[in-house]
Amino acid sequence: MNTLLLAAALLLLLTILAGLWRVVRGPTAADRMLAAQLFGTSGVGTLLLLAEAWQQPALRDVALIFALLAVLALVAFVRLRHEGAE
């Protein structure tokens, strides 16, 4: 069971790395930002799996913070972006 959870976490981590490619390549600012947003969701999933696998209940609180704050950067990006950003 533990190995299964860890393998699932590993898979999620690999999807994060796949998303990183989009962050590096772009081409538009929105592409980069949306990929970073996706990490928030994958990060929540990874942390919940690791909390179960390593019996670390505190990691669920880390996931909670991720879930709450992930939206912050996106809202700031939409609201603060000026014409000509990239």
Partner 1 sequence: MSGVTLALDLLLGLSLVWLAWRTLASPTLFGAIVLFIAFGLLMALVWARLDAPDIALAEAAVGAGLTGVLLLAALADLQQGDNLLPVREPLRGWLLQLILALCALGLFTLLTLALLGLPSPPPSLAGQVLPRLDGAGASHPVTAVLLDFRAWDTLLEIAVLLLAVVAAWSLGSHPHPNPRIVGSEVLQGLVRVLLPFAVLSAGYLVWRGGFAPGGAFQAGTVLAAAGILLLLSGLGRPFNGRHWLWRALLASGLFIFTGVALGTLLLGGGALDYPAGLGYGLILAIELGLTLTIGLTFIALYAGEQDAAEERE
Distance between CA atoms of residues 62 and 20, nearest Å: 21
> Does residue 20 touch partner 1 according to CB under 8 A?
yes
What H or E segment, with its residue span, contains residue 69? helix 58-80
Give the residue among 37, 58, 47 at the shortest CA–CA distance from 9: 47
> Does residue 18 touch partner 1 according to CB under 8 A?
no
Q: Which amino acid does the sequence have at 31?
A: D
Q: Which two tokens stand for residue 6?
A: 């860890």
Out of 15, 40, 52, 55, point to the residue binding partner 1 (CB under 8 A). Answer: 40
Minimum CB–partner distance for residue 75 and partner 1 (Å): 5
> Does residue 1 touch partner 1 according to CB under 8 A?
no
Q: What angle do CA 63, 68, 72 make, to 5 degrees?
A: 125
| Positions in the binding site for partner 1 (CB under 8 A) | 3, 6-7, 9-10, 13-14, 16-17, 20, 23-24, 26, 29, 32-33, 35-36, 39-40, 43, 46-47, 50, 56-59, 61-62, 64-66, 68-73, 75-82, 84-86
